[in-house]
Structure 1
Amino acid sequence: MVDEVVLKNATDTAWTVYRARDVGPQDSRRCLLERHLQRRGEERESDTEELAGFGIAYLLRLPQDEC
């Protein structure tokens, strides 16, 4: 089980980096990011930086019209 603080910090970090690309704060991809990181954290123990890196990579792979 992923630590909720680690998950929140990783999500916030990845989302902040991704939003620098002119993505709105209410973009629905944040929900996809949260679910992705939750699954990643459940698969194996991860720290905030590692999960944030996974999150950024995931967001960059999403098609722009995904959401």
Structure 2
Amino acid sequence: MVDEVTVRRAAETAWTVYRAAHPDVDVHDSRRYLLECFLHRRREERESDAEELASFGIAYLHQLPEDEG
């Protein structure tokens, strides 16, 4: 079972860091949804804490195309 609090905390951290580096990205950009889906899958695949998931999430966001939003 995916720990929703851990995934939400990781997604929020990763999204905040990503947006700090990319201030032109809108708060409601579709990459946020993609990030959350990615982190849910990642959490289901292996046990991770919020900090580790956030790191995976930041790396994932940097891989997405700039025009994904």
TM-score by length of 2: 0.91
Q: Deviations over 1:15-34 (max 9, x none)?
A: 00011111211111000000
Q: State the percentage of identical aligned residues.
A: 67
**Moved runs in structure 1, 4+ residues, more than 6 A?**
none
| Uncovered stretches (5+) of structure 2, i.e. residues with no partner | none
Q: Which amino acid aligns with 1:19?
A: R
Contact 2:30 2:68 in 1 (8 A): no
CA RMSD of superposed structures (Å): 0.8
TM-score w.r.t. length of structure 1: 0.94
Unaligned runs of 5+ in 1: none
Q: String of CA shifts for 1:9-66, please: whole Å, max 9, x gaps.
A: 0000000001111121111100000000000000000000000000000000101122
Higher-helix-fraction structure: 2
